Amino acid sequence: MGLIDFIKDILRPGNGVDYPQAGDMVTVHYHGYLYDPTRSRNRGVGMFDSSIKRGYPFTFRIGMGTVIKGWEVGILGMSLGEKAYLTFGPQYGYGEKGAPPFIPGNSPLVFQVELLAINGRTMLSDDSD
């Protein structure tokens, strides 16, 4: 298996207008998997985390180093409403140490991410106020 850097595979385009910038609060739904090179479209295997299974989305400030680098890079390039697979090597994830017990060291990861909101604004927000 070759070294994985970073791959973004768009499943559904966003609005193509609204993109998060460093310092914005973003809200996402996601599933996290270990990378499996035998799966198509960069899908992973062995889900280790899911905001959907928890029952609520994840909100954080982007560009502040509070999440792994793969999320920073991937989500900063997504537009509002976009859904994509973000596949990346350990240098964008948890590195040599991993995140035991679910993510071994040097693990490539796959996240299916949907950008739901930027600073509270969603695809359904009414801007007429």
Q: Which CATH number is 69's domain given?
A: 3.10.50.40
Instruction: Give me the catalytic one of 4, 68, 103, 118.
Output: 68
Catalytic position from the list 6, 7, 19, 49: 49
Q: Looking at residue 46, what is its pLDDT?
A: 85
In a domain, 4, yes or no: no
Domain presence at residue 126? no
Residue 2 lies in a domain: no
Residue among 75, 92, 94, 118 flagged as catalytic: 94
Selecting among 4, 18, 30, 118, the annotated active-site residue is: 30
Q: What's the confidence (pLDDT) of residue 4?
A: 78
5 part of a folded domain: no
Q: So what's the pLDDT on residue 81?
A: 98
Domain that holds residue 49: 10-121
Three-state SS string over the chain comes to: CCCCCEEEEEEECCCCCCCCCCCCEEEEEEEEEEECCCCHHHCEEEEEEEHHHHCCCEEEECCCCCCCHHHHHHHHCCCCCCEEEEEECHHHCCCCCCECCCECCCCCEEEEEEEEEECCEECCCCCCC
**Residue 35 falls in the annotated catalytic set:** no
Q: Does the annotation mark 48 as catalytic?
A: yes
Is 126 part of the annotated catalytic residue set?
no
How many domains does the structure of the chain reveal?
Answer: 1
Would residue 129 count as lying in a domain? no
Question: Residue 128: what pLDDT?
Answer: 41
Q: Is 58 a catalytic residue?
A: no
pLDDT tens track, the chain, 129 positions: 456 799 999 999 999 999 999 999 999 999 999 998 887 665 667 899 999 999 999 999 999 999 999 999 999 999 999 999 999 999 999 999 999 999 999 999 999 999 999 999 998 864 544
Active-site option among 6, 19, 36, 48: 48
